[in-house]
Structures are given as C-alpha cells and as structure tokens.
Amino acid sequence: MAAITSDVEVEVRRPRRGVVVGILLVAWVAVYFVLRGIDTLTLGSQETTTLHRWLTDHRDDLGQGNVVFDAIRMTVDQFVVLLQNLLAQPAYGRPVPVIGWLGVVAVAAYLAWAFGNWKVALLTAAGLGFVGLQGLWRESMDTLALTIAAVLLSLLVAIPLGIWAGLSNRAFRVATLVLDLMQTLPTFVYLAPLTLFFAIGPAAATIATLVYAAPPAVRLTAHAIRSVPAESVEAARSLGSTRSQTLTKVLLPMSRSTVVVGINQTIMAALSMVTVAALINAPGLGDTVLKALETLDVGVAFNGGLAIVVLAIVLDRVTTAAGDRPWRTASRRRRILLAAGAAGVLVAVWFSRTYVWAAEFPTSVNIGSRIAVTTSNLTNWVQDVFGGFTYGVRDAVTKGVLNPLEALLTGSPWWLVATVVVALAAVLGRWRGALPAAVCSLLLVATGVWHDSMVTLASTLLATVVVVAVGLVLGVWAGRNRRVDTWIRPVLDAGQTMPPFVYLVPFLALFGTSRFTAIAAAIVFAVPVTTKIVADGIKAVPVATVEAANSVGSSNWQVISKVQLPVARRAITLAVNQGLIYVLSMVVVGGLVGAQALGYDVYAGFTQSELYGKGLAAGLAIVLLGVLLDRVTQAAARRTQRFPRRGDKL
Amino acid sequence: MTAQLEYPEVQDSDALLSIQGLWKVFGPKAQRVPHRPDLAALDRAALYTRTGCTAAVRDLSFDVAPGEVFVVMGLSGSGKSTLVRCLTRLIEPTAGSLIFEGEDLRAADEKRLRTLRRSKFSMVFQHFGLLPHRKVIDNVSYGLEIRGESKPDRRRRAQEVIDLVGLAGNEHFYPEQLSGGMQQRVGLARALANDPDVLLFDEPFSALDPLIRREMQNEVVRLHREVGKTMVFVTHDLSEALRLGDRILLMRDGGAVQLGTGDELVGAPADEYVRDFVRDVPRADVLTLRWIVRDARPGEPLDGPEVGPDVLVREATRLVLEADRPVKVVSNGTLLGVIDDEEILAVVADH
C-alpha cells in the first residue's frame, strides 16, 4: 500500500504541463501591462538596418561574375526560352510560336491518350481549349513551358538521386534527412536567396521550382525501389543477372507506377511554384493573377486563377491515368490506332505552322472577359448583400482576437517574448525545444525585422488554431465515416492541387484587403493537409481496438476521446506541425492582400530594389519562424510519445 | 557439432556439392565468431548478448550426391533459408568451404559466380519472386535472356519447360492472373529453363493450399524422375520432407541436429528434439521392416512367407497379421530375422 500511495503523491506533486503553460501565459500578460512599449524593435516599412543595406549593396556580388552560377543561369535560361519559342512566344522571325495552338492541343491530347486513356485525352483537349477561350492562351503556354522546363530538370536530378537512395542505405539516410529539412522550409523562401545567385528572371524561377518540386520524385523513386519484393530481386540474382540487368529489368519496371505518382506530385508542385514565381518576374498565368491582385481586380484575377486550376486538373488527371495504366503491352488494335493518331498529330502540327487560324488562338469568342465581368459583378453583389456581414465578422475577429494577440506579441519587449517562447518550448519539449527556440529567437532579432516577425507570428498562430480545430473535426469525422471520407477526399485533393495564389481571389472578394483575408486564405490552404493526416491517423487505429472499446459500452465520444485520438496521437501532432508549416508558407502570398509584416517585406524586396536586403532578411525571418515552430512542435510530440513507436528498438 | 554427421557418407569424389564447416553470422564484426572457439561454442542467446551477432548457420558440413533430393528441414528461424542462399552465395558465407564439381565456389569472382548461376544452379522461391510486368513466357525465359540467347532460341526453350511443368496455354497471361499454384509452376519453369545441374527450393510450397501443395509435391517427384536433377529442398513441413527427401538434414538454431534418411530420423532420432519433431509421424508409413526385424527365437517355425527388408511396415501389415507363423525377412537370400504380430502392432498401434 505504501508504495502505491507514494507513487500517487509523485504524480500529484508534479504539476501538469497545461497548468504550467497557463501560469506562464498569465504572467506574460501581467508583465506586458507593466513593460509594454519598451524594446519593441519597431522598424517602419521603408526603414532598413545596416544588415539590410549591406545585403542590398552586395546583391550582385554573388550572382554576377561568378562563372558557375552564370553558366547555370545561361543554360537554364536558354532551355526555358527554347520551350517558350516552341509553345508560347513569337520565335525565329515568325510572329507566332513554332507550334500553334492546334498543334499543341493535338500533341497534348495524343500524349494523354498514349500514356493514359482516351478520357483524359478528351479532358486535355477540352481544358486547353477552355484556357484558350478565356483569352489566356499565351499566358497558359508560358506557364506550361516553365513548368515543363522545371519538371524535366527536376526529374533529371530527382530520378537518379532517387535510384541511388533506393539502392544504397547510406544515401537513403542522407536523402531523408535533407528532404525532411527542405519540407519544413516555407516554399516561398527559396525565391529570395535564389535571386541572389541567379538574378531575377526565368532561370531563378525555374531553379526555385526545381528545388521545390524535386523532393517528392526523389522520395517516391527511392521508396518504390526499396519496396520491390526482395524475392524478385533475389530471383533475378540467382539466375545470374548483373547489377545493371537487375536495375533495368527488375527494379525499374516494378517501380514504375510509384515513380509515376512521384512525377505527378512533382508536376503539381512545379505548377504551383511556377505561378508563385511571378513574384520574381516569371511570365505566365501567375503574372496575370499577381497584376490583377495588385490592382484589386477580382474579376481578372479569378479568370487567371481559373485557368491555373484548369491546367492543374488536366496535368493531375493525365499523370494519374498514366500511373494507373496496367503493365500489359498495347494490343495490336491500340498500336495501329496510336500510329494513325501520330500521323494525325503531325498533320495538325503542320497546319498550325501553315495557317494563321491554327497558329493563333481565335479571339472572336473570348469568354475570359465575360468571366471577369461576371465575377466582378458577382463580387460587387456579394459585397453589397453580405458585405455588412462578412466585414462584420472580419472586424469582430480582428478586434476581438487578432489585435490583442498582436499587441501582446509586438508590444512586449523582445527579450520578454523570447524568454516566454524559450520557457514554453522548454516546458513542452525540454531542451530539444528550448535550444532551437533560443537560437531562432536571437537570430530573429539579428535579422532586424523582429517587430514584423511578431505581427506575422500573431496571424500564424491564430490561423493555426483554427486550422487544427477544423482539421480535427473534419478529420475525425472522415476517419470514422467511410461515406464522409469518400465525399470529402476529392474536395481535399482538389484543394491541395490548387496553386496557393488562387485561394486569395474569393477571399479578396469577401473580405477586402486586410490581415484577416490573408488568414482566411491560409486557413483554407492548410485545412486539407491537416484533415487528411488526421483522417488517415484515425483510420489507422486497429478495428479490433475500436471494437474492444465498443464492446465494453463506450459512447461515441468516449471512443473518440479515449481510444481513437490517443492512439492516433502521432498523426495528430504531425497534422498540427504540417498545418503550421502550410499556414506559414502562405505568409508571402498573404502579403499581397494586406497581410503586411514579413509577407509584405519579402514582396517589397522583390519589387523595390532599395528594399532588396530587407526582403531577404524577412525571407530568412520566415524560415526562422518556421524552424522555431517546427522544432518546438516536434519536440513536444516526442515528449507526448509515451509508448514506443512502431519500428523503435525496444 | 559435426558429431551427428556420421550417417551414410557419400564418398567425397562422388559428391556434386560438398560443404565443409559453413558459417553465416549476422551482426557487427561477424568474421571473428567462427574463428574464435570461445565465441563459436556459445549458444544463440549468449552469442547475441556477448557480441550482438546471430549465427544463422553454424558449422555445417555435408555432401550432396548427384541426382539426390537433399532436404533441409527445420522450424522458422533455424537458418535453413540462409543456408540455401549461402550455397550460391546469394548470401555471402562468413566461413567454411563450398566445393561444387571440384571447384571452390568461395574463391569464384563475381563474373564466374554469375556464369555458374546462369548455367549450373537455379532457385525456386517461397513467394515465387516472379516479375509482375512480364508475361509467363517472358518470366520463364528471363534467365535465358540475361545470358544473351536469341529470341527464337529462348522462346523455344521456354515453351519446352512450360509444357513440362503443365503450364501450356498460359504463356501469355501475366503472373497476377494465375492462381498461387500456377504461379509457382512458373517459378519452377523459370528455374528449369536454363537447364541447371542443381535446383534449389526455398520452401516453395508453404504459401500454397494443402491440396495444391500435395499436387506440386507430386509434380516435383515426377520432374525428378523425368529430368533427374540434383535438388536441395528447404521445408518446415516434415511430411513434405519425408515424401521428397532421399536424405534429410534437420537444423536447429543454425546447427545440424541430425542428418539421415527419413526412416533413420523416425526410427533412430538423435536426441529428444528430433524425437519430439517426428512424434506425430505415422511410423508405419515411414519405417521399413529392416527397423523392426528381430532374430528368430529358438524353436520358432521358419517356414512362413518371405518379404524384403525395404518393404514399408504399412505394406507388410496385412501379410504378417494374416500369416499364422512369423514372417521371414530375407535380403539377397540371407535371412535377416523374423517379424511377428507383436512387432507390427508395436509400430502400427503406437502413438
């Protein structure tokens, strides 16, 4: 008995973490009222620090004149220009690209048919026809050319790396480490440092896209090679295959469908990054949307966003169909049809080089302007009718939650915030949390944009709380109910394939330009991934465990709170982590619609040359915030993990 | 460890494959384990705590005669699958020698090893190890393809073995379209296609239904009769071992427990472990009269019927029980002894 009571006492004496966190926060608020306004490190939007000016002055030193970077830039630029000449821009002394619209549609549909099926071929033709009718043919082709360039370069790098990581354990460990790190970096942050090396333009855009788009292909190729059954490889070896025979005749063919999934993800990532790269002057649809957002022209922005979504859907469906294609070799009938189709495509390409009507997309029917006008009218109508309501919601949330939170973060002395952050990290994740928190806080001060970082942090925290709440509810619902899952999943998939720009448009219509708009867009951007991870985690709870809980008479709520959520804890911490990262990666995009702070700093850095250094520092600050939040949540997750994980050594 | 290996010895010169002191140790610095007597003597648990190593195969020595079906049997984890992979160095042995047709396999370089695998050895796998992206006929001709034979040649040869294993008519299916038993026939055909001297089987039928398993065992018996290949057959199924094996090597924790013919294992188990292992075997189906014959007692009548010593007990039961006097066991005109109801019933009724 004695032993038991003493155990209980030990439990009681150690206060729960929640209580400690609560006390910390209350203490912070109390101190804030005493010390507010001191050491806040405020910096006006046009003001810069010595560091920023130094960076601005040295922007050309690294990139230009450096032989290696110049060579890379020239090569990539030429490659992009070649593709643009082929598809988009007037080239080689002709007023039209090498292949006109008819040829492009024919080639694209043919490829979709050959690698996928006739349904996606029809979809391809219809999709390309639609963006043409929107009056965005050239912009779409620019985007397509950049995407193709980036995807080809990505695969050129990613597939061999993936194979290497698939064959060698050491390479696999290194690759996993690097890719994990790359995934925690907010994507838009690549842009700023890359312009330092490759100057603003297509080369930097392509390389930024490459960095963003290559990881999924590396990961999935390695995964595919590693999951080929050991017996098939052994069988090949036992028959005397050489290493290269094993690779080309066994490993690669058997990895095909998974590699195609990787290529699909690479293409989708490339498309969304290519549109975002409009921030550094990449041509295409992203530029259309960006310009429209700058002038608050919701109609034109929506038209451009719609074209991006159409391209995304076409590319996604075609590559998915290509991955689903079975092993079988084509039947004789299909082979004959394919040959006939190839001839037809050649004829179409010839037409598109010979006749103006087949070269330039006809402008007689332009539904683009009608879409833009309709959207504008609809927006106006919505603002007239619901404006009071939506603006009311916006103002209520801004005044009631966002402003106090922001005031607390920005009004406290920097050392107070840093202390609280480190203390919280220590409580949640011991030294694993505290150490990165301390380092990141100090570096944030060093960037000179501490104040802006705190504004961004306030929005990020608010958005993340909403994302996690919504994601948990939807995820648990979908995880427990198969029908809900089948309905919700395509919506989530669509949400994930849409490039982030597009999210802004409807929110701009509803809420005008404000911090709240950016938060709402970030929430919509991050909810799908959070929901999916939670749903998968809930679904992975063994059926027998749930049945056991039901058999002792648990209510639904008890099953959720006492069985499913605790068992899925690992998935849920991952969902929180990913939600945070996704919210943070919308920061720069949010800067376009009034999010101010870091997002605006980065954007201003791209557009105003004298603010370049500050933009770079702000980009770095976003990375630091990302690393800080990522490390702390990961460390907290590790501590929460009471029972050993699968695969852990016991 | 080699004490048990004094059973019917095949002369060294006759052996097709001769294994001496073979070790496979997994773990850090595995090399040292076979070479240090103090480590080599440790049992599995002690070895793991001392060194972090596991000896999957420990100090095995045996010969496989040409044309023999040599069965390696043991429970899962006994090292039998590792052993069969060591024979062609799919897994590199840690120590010991492998002599095949007088050639030291452990000294062979990568190229020589490939040549041997392409022409002398073939393996059949538990989960078939087929290539899902190739049709049956292309799976079967894979081995011929990688050694560079022309397409007509390998088509012809593949068709031959496809007919041989009873797959005719399925050439243009993909593996996933076939049942498990049919898939393993593809595995068998692939192994036979490059006309090897030795066929290695790694628990080939344990993933199959019992009925299909029996059918495939008969298939192996038939093939052995028709093509007369040497076979090394790994299984955890005692009845399979007894059905197929000329000789059986029983393994436990990587070491040999007993090596002998099926009736030797059942009739003269080397220790308690083997006795336990063969406990449920219907002894009358395995033991021959040689195992139960006794000397005639003085005054016993010796004018009963005669039988040979290699007749199974089950087959002789009726004869002995119906005869009104002891049955004589005669080999080449020599009287080995007699058998009475008592001896027969001791085997048939015993369990």
- Asked whether this complex has an ipTM greater than 0.85, the answer is no
Cross-chain residue pair B123–A236, CB shorter than 8 Å: no
Best of A228, A234, A238 to disrupt the B interface by mutation (most B CBs within 10 Å)?
A238
- Select from B113, B131, B137, B178 the residue whose CB has the most chain A CBs within 10 Å, as the one to mutate to test that interface: B131
The third-level CATH classification (topology) of the domain covering B285-348 is: CBS domain Like (3.90.1280)
Nearest CA in chain B to A328: B133
Beta-bridge mates of residue B267: none
Residue of B nearest to A252 (CA): B133
Whether A541 and A443 map to the same domain: the answer is yes
> In which element (H, E) is residue A296 found?
none
Residues whose CB falls within 8 Å of the CB of residue A235, separated by 6 or more in sequence, listed in order: B123, B125, B129, B130, B187, B190
Lowest mean pLDDT: which of A350-364, A367-381, A403-417, B8-22?
Answer: B8-22
Do residues A64 and A195 make contact, with C-beta atoms less than 8 angstroms apart? no
Q: DSSP code of A297?
A: -
> To probe the interface with A, which of B85, B128, B141, B146 has the most A CB atoms within 10 Å?
B146
| CB–CB contact B122 A229 (8 Å) | no
* CA R_g for chain B: 23
Q: Residue by residue, what is the 3-state secondary structure of A89-155? A: CCCCCCCCCCCCHHHHHHHHHHHHHHHCCHHHHHHHHHHHHHHHHCCCHHHHHHHHHHHHHHHHHHH
Which residues of B make CB contacts under 8 Å with A? 85, 88, 90, 113-119, 121-123, 125-133, 142-143, 145-147, 174, 187, 190, 194, 200
pLDDT recorded at residue A352: 82
Q: Output A344-350 pairs: Cβ under 8 A, ≥24 positions apart.
A: A344/A106, A344/A110, A345/A103, A345/A106, A345/A107, A345/A110, A348/A102, A348/A103, A348/A105, A348/A106, A348/A107, A349/A99, A349/A102, A349/A103, A349/A106, A349/A107, A350/A103
B119 CB neighbours in chain A (<8 A) are 240
Residue A592 vs residue B71, higher pLDDT? B71
Torsion angle in degrees (nearest 10) through CA of A67, A69, A70, A76: 140
Asked whether residue A647 is domain-assigned, the answer is: no
- From residue B87, give the alpha-carbon distance in Å to each of B104, B120, B122, B201: 11, 12, 11, 12
Which of A231, A241, A249 minimises the CB distance to B127?
Answer: A231
Reported for B108-116, long-range contacts at CB under 8 A and 24+ positions apart, including other chains, are B113/A240, B113/B88, B113/B89, B114/A240, B114/A241, B114/A242, B115/A240, B116/A240, B116/B88
Which residue of A lies nearest to B133 if distances are taken between CA atoms? A327
Nearest neighbour of A238 by CB, restricted to B88, B132, B145: B88
A246 confidence band (pLDDT: 50, 70, 90): very high
- Residue A330: CATH number of its domain: 1.10.3720.10
Residue A232, domain member (yes or no): yes
Q: What percent of chain A has pLDDT over 70?
A: 91
Q: Is residue A183's pLDDT more than 70?
A: no
Contact A229 B121 (CB under 8 A): no
Q: Which among A128, A140, A430 is positioned nearest to A308, based on CA atoms?
A: A140
Nearest CA in chain A to B200: A238
Q: Give the separation between CA B205 and CA B217, rounded to whole angstroms.
A: 8
Q: Nearest residue of B to residue A253 by CA position?
A: B133
Strand partners, B20: B97
- Is the Cβ–Cβ distance between A97 and A88 less than 8 Å? yes
A242 contacts B131? CB cut-off 8 A: no
Residues of chain A in Cβ contact (below 8 Å) with chain B: 229, 231-242, 245, 249-250, 253-254, 256, 327-328
Q: How confident is the model at residue A161 (pLDDT cuts 50, 70, 90)?
A: very high
Q: Do B133 and A254 touch (CB under 8 A)?
A: yes
Residues in A closer than 8 angstroms to B147, CB to CB, are: 240
pLDDT value, residue B13: 53
CB contact under 8 A, B143 and A240: yes
Domain that residue A577 falls in: 439-640
For residue A622, pLDDT beyond 60: yes
Chain A residues touching residue B145 (CB < 8 angstroms): 249
Residues 6+ apart with CB under 8 A from A425: A433, A434, A436, A437, A631, A632, A635
Report the pLDDT value the prediction gives residue A187, as an integer from 0 to 100: 63
Of B146, B190, B194, which has the smallest distance from its Cβ to A241's Cβ?
B146
A327·B132 Cβ contact <8 A: yes
pLDDT band at A8 (very low <50, low <70, confident <90, very high): very low
Q: How far is B22 from chain A (nearest CA, A)?
A: 20
Kindly report the nearest CA distance between residue B150 and chain A, in angstroms. Answer: 16
C-alpha–C-alpha distance, residues B167 and B216, integer Å: 13
How does strand B17-26 pair with strand B95-100? antiparallel
Tell me what pLDDT residue A2 has: 43
Nearest-Cα distance to chain A for B201, in Å, is 11
Shared domain for A594 and A489, answered yes or no, is yes
**Do A606 and A462 sit in the same domain of this protein?**
yes
Nearest to B114 among A231, A240, A256 (CB): A240
Domain boundary among A338, A365, A392: A365
pLDDT of residue A640: 60
CATH class of B66-93+111-120+196-281: alpha beta
| pLDDT value for B69 | 93
Q: How far is B114 from chain A (nearest CA, A)?
A: 4
CA atoms within 13 A on the CB side of A70: 7
Residue B157 has a pLDDT of 93
Q: Which of A316, A334, A365 is the last residue of a domain?
A: A365
Residues A184-205 have a mean pLDDT of 70
User: For helices A191-198 and A597-607, what crossing angle results, to 10°?
Assistant: 20
Local confidence band at A650 (pLDDT 50, 70, 90 cut-offs):
very low
Question: Which chain A residues touch B123 with a CB distance below 8 Å?
Answer: 234-235, 238
Q: Cα-atom radius of gyration of chain A, to the nearest Å?
A: 27
Residue type, B108: A
Pick from B125, B131, B190: CB nearest A234: B125
Q: Hey, are the CB atoms on B146 and A234 less than 8 Å from each other?
A: no
Residue A380 covered by a domain: no
In this model, does residue A583 exceed pLDDT 80? yes
A254, B131: Cβ pair inside 8 Å?
Answer: yes
- pLDDT the model gives residue A388: 80
Q: State how far the Cα of B59 lies from the Cα of A524, in Å rounded to an integer.
A: 65
Domain boundary among A323, A345, A365: A365
Burial group, residue B14, by CB count within 10 angstroms (0-12, 13-18, 19+) = exposed
- At A100, which amino acid appears? G
| Chain A partners within 8 Å of B129 (Cβ) | 229, 231-235
Over residues A640-645, mean pLDDT: 48
Starting at the earlier edge strand, list the strands of the sheet with B17-26.
B54-64, B17-26, B95-100, B103-104
What is the pLDDT at residue A11?
43
Q: Which segments within A339-432 are labelled E, that is strand?
A: none
Residue A138 domain flag: yes
- Kindly state whether residues A106 and A245 are assigned to the same domain: yes
List of chain B residues whose C-beta atoms are within 8 Å of the C-beta of residue A252? none
DSSP state of A563: I
| Residue A647 pLDDT > 50 | no
Hey, where are the domains in chain B? Answer: 66-93+111-120+196-281, 285-348
pLDDT score recorded for residue A565:
84
Per-residue pLDDT of chain B (351 residues; tens, 9 = 90+): 333 334 344 444 578 999 999 999 998 888 888 888 888 888 888 999 988 899 999 999 999 999 999 999 988 888 999 999 999 899 999 999 999 998 999 999 989 999 999 999 999 999 888 988 889 999 999 999 998 899 999 999 999 999 988 889 999 999 989 998 899 999 999 999 988 999 999 999 988 888 888 888 998 898 888 888 899 999 998 889 998 999 999 999 899 999 999 888 888 888 888 888 888 888 888 888 888 888 888 888 888 888 888 888 888 888 888 888 888 888 888 888 888 888 888 888 765
Chain A closest-CA separation from residue B69 CA (Å): 20
CB–CB of A250 and B131 under 8 A? yes
Q: In sequence order, what E strands does A413-553 have? A: none
Tell me the average pLDDT of chain A. 82
- Smallest Cα–Cα separation from A420: which of A442, A439, A437? A437
For residue A21, report the phi and psi dihedrals to the nearest 5 degrees.
-60, -45
- Give the Å distances, CA to CA, from A251 to A28, A80, A167, A325, B124: 58, 33, 10, 18, 19
Pairwise pLDDT comparison (A66 vs B249), residue with the higher score: B249
Q: Do A253 and B133 touch (CB under 8 A)?
A: yes
Farthest-apart Cα atoms in chain B, separation? 75
Q: Which residue of B has its CA nearest to A237?
A: B90
Partner residue opposite B115 with nearest CB, options A229, A240, A327: A240
Tokens of B245: 């094996």
Size of interface A-B (CB pairs under 8 A): 72
Contact B190 A327 (CB under 8 A): no
pLDDT tens track for A405-419: 888 888 888 888 888
Give the percent of chain A with pLDDT over 90: 14
Closest residue in A to B144 (Cα–Cα): A239
**Cβ pair B130:A235 closer than 8 A:** yes
Q: What confidence tens digit (pLDDT) does each residue in A301-319 have?
A: 888 888 988 998 899 889 8
Residue B191, both tokens: 């192994």
- Nearest CA to CA, how far is A116 from chain B (Å)? 17
State the helix-helix crossing angle for A285-294 and A252-276, rounded to 10 degrees.
30
Instruction: List beta partners, residue B252.
Output: B255
Contact A234 B90 (CB under 8 A): yes
Cα–Cα nearest to A372, from A470, A575, A491, A509: A509
Nearest CA in chain B to A232: B129
pLDDT score recorded for residue A641:
53
Residue A427 lies in a domain: no
Partner-chain contact B194 A239, CB within 8 Å? yes
Q: Is the pLDDT of residue A534 over 50?
A: yes
Residue contact A240–B117, C-beta within 8 A: yes
Nearest neighbour of B117 by CB, restricted to A231, A238, A250: A238
Mutant choice from B115, B120, B125, B161 vs A, greatest count of A C-beta within 10 A: B125
Nearest chain B residue to A240 by CA distance is B114
Is the model's pLDDT at A72 over the cut of 70?
Answer: yes
